[in-house]
Amino acid sequence: MATVELTKENFDQTVSENPFVLIDFWAGWCRPCLQFAPVYEKASEANPDLVFAKVDTEAQQELAAAFQITSIPTLMIVRDQVAIFAQPGALPEAALTDLIGQARSLDMEEVRAKIAALQQDGQAGTAQA
């Protein structure tokens, strides 16, 4: 599958309509971004069932700001509309392959339960304050 260019106009739709989205926040002037691009493209070809997307942080500054992107490249993985990974830095091919495998194996019901528990703890802490 070809890499999808994300903008503020299509971001929500892309993430809500696809159960597994990898997002590369990058810029054309960023040398590590350009070095990571072929690794990312190769991973997209090896995983045609996943959506690989890119956000040009220069053209989409509002989107980059919304996700507090302060260093590029930053890779984010969204599964079932939950951001399960976000980390700056260009990954080598083996690390990206391993990361995709780990993300695939996550039990999203367990992830949602942990998020709900954290939110409940946060609300309890707020009530006590």
| Residues catalogued as catalytic | 30, 33
Number of CB atoms found within 10 A of residue 77's CB:
21
Q: Which amino acid is at 115?
A: I
Structure tokens at 5: 């260019």
Backbone angles phi, psi at 10, to 5 degrees: -115, 0
